[in-house]
Structure 1
């Protein structure tokens, strides 16, 4: 009897574990070019929960895809874009808070992923509202090697920004920028460039072989890996991303004809 009870408990636990594993949050994004459905990763709970709340509150409804670059990505989430005039500069507005970075080595910028935009802050915290969907391109090995170099350049820059020994120089650069002292800015920038070329206080990043295969088969944008938070992926509607990425844009990458998010809603939890 004791054995039967133990087996019953094991079976109940297995069923619970199965359902807790397969459940995922899906968000339906209806746009003027069609409908996209994304699933949100449980591995990035801060970004998942923030995105769910914004969608439920209707924050994204009527916002524009304000930055579109074919072969790269489509970006939305600027709060000001809802009522933006034609040609107005967009891309700098959100809700005024940030989401702590959740950069994971297993989540990468393959075609179709959802990731968080951000400014050049030292903690790599994400914008409260701005996100992008990756279109990307297919890569070969030589291009992946080049992109790997770009990843490591960004990682060096991030490490330098947070290095206590370099912080005084970074503070001086910020102060010179505020004063608009071009001569001092150029001088400090030159110093930092020289330091960066020989900076070695990071572990060199190597694109995992499994990631390389994905980039060679379906494409993506690997140079963003390990620098921006990836927190979901498209499970339906990749063709909509391609359609939006193909629109005509101005010199600031804003679509000439508005491309709008009509609505967002949670379709499964």
Structure 2
């Protein structure tokens, strides 16, 4: 039997078909093996940028917003008692409900930890002990973080400066209206009281236990400006039930 031979007319179309099939396979492989386009953006970094942009400025108390803030803050308060622990022991004060701005201010600062590690920086024999200030930089930093503001006097609620009364001193800076310095307070130790202070300062609470500790602080030696010879610290102030 004679073998059929492939002539040139038969071979050329087959070669052309093979070339086409090879190109198709190579093209398919290149599409599969090639990775998708990779973004240079890090999703976490992008999310972080968004969060930074949305971050709000910290709230600061000012002369303009303090009254409204403490008016509303006072509505949320359920407790009116603060325990103050010092290097000489602890005493407890109860705040008056009808002196709302001063009460709210004292509890707010206590809850913020402001009074912790401040000092009784002024001690006047048989008169007062005054606290809430310090020569430490940390105290100034805490004040700046809370804000700069004063409180109006509220001296017409019938309270007198009896012994054991806690009251708020007025600011000494540009203060013709005797506005109260919110970061400080004083406690009367005079028997039976220091009534010449009535009308000029705002009594906002009274010592209900630990008056012996107040007397012990008042008995400490002092130097110039009535600053105690040795620092007398408020170790902690805390709101109690």
TM above 0.5: yes
Which of the numbers 104, 112, 129 marks the counterpart of 2:156? Answer: 104
**Which residues of 2 match residues 170-189 of structure 1 at below 5 A?**
none
Deviation at 1:125, TM superposition (A): 1.3
1:113 is aligned to 165
**Looking at both structures, which has the greater relative contact order when contacts are Cα pairs under 8 Å and sequence separation is at least 6?**
1
1:81 and 1:96 map into 2 onto residues whose CA distance is 18
Deviation at 1:123, TM superposition (A): 2.1
2:197 and 2:147 map into 1 onto residues whose CA distance is 24
Gap regions ≥5 residues in structure 2: 1-77, 139-145
1:129 is aligned to 183
**Which residues of 2 match residues 199-218 of structure 1 at below 5 A?**
none
1:82 and 1:253 map into 2 onto residues whose CA distance is 18
Gap regions ≥5 residues in structure 1: 1-22, 85-93, 138-218
SS in 1 for 2:135: helix
SS in 2 for 1:126: coil
**Which residues of 2 match residues 1-269 of structure 1 at below 5 A?**
25-78=80-133, 80-82=134-136, 96-119=148-171, 121-137=175-191, 219-268=192-241
1:214 is aligned to none
1:128 and 1:51 map into 2 onto residues whose CA distance is 8
1:256 and 1:54 map into 2 onto residues whose CA distance is 27
For the 8 Å contact 1:105–1:226, the answer to whether it is kept is no
- Comparing 121-130 and 245-254, the one that deviates more: 121-130
Deviation at 1:105, TM superposition (A): 4.8
2:55 is aligned to none
1:243 and 1:234 map into 2 onto residues whose CA distance is 14
For the 8 Å contact 1:28–1:266, the answer to whether it is kept is yes
**Structure of greater Rg:** 2
2:112 and 2:157 map into 1 onto residues whose CA distance is 31
Deviation at 1:24, TM superposition (A): 5.3
Q: CA RMSD in A?
A: 1.8
The structure where helix makes up a greater share of residues is: 1
2:86 and 2:156 map into 1 onto residues whose CA distance is 29
SS in 1 for 2:206: strand
Taking structure 2 as the reference length, the TM-score comes to: 0.61
For the 8 Å contact 2:129–2:186, the answer to whether it is kept is yes
For the 8 Å contact 1:96–1:128, the answer to whether it is kept is no
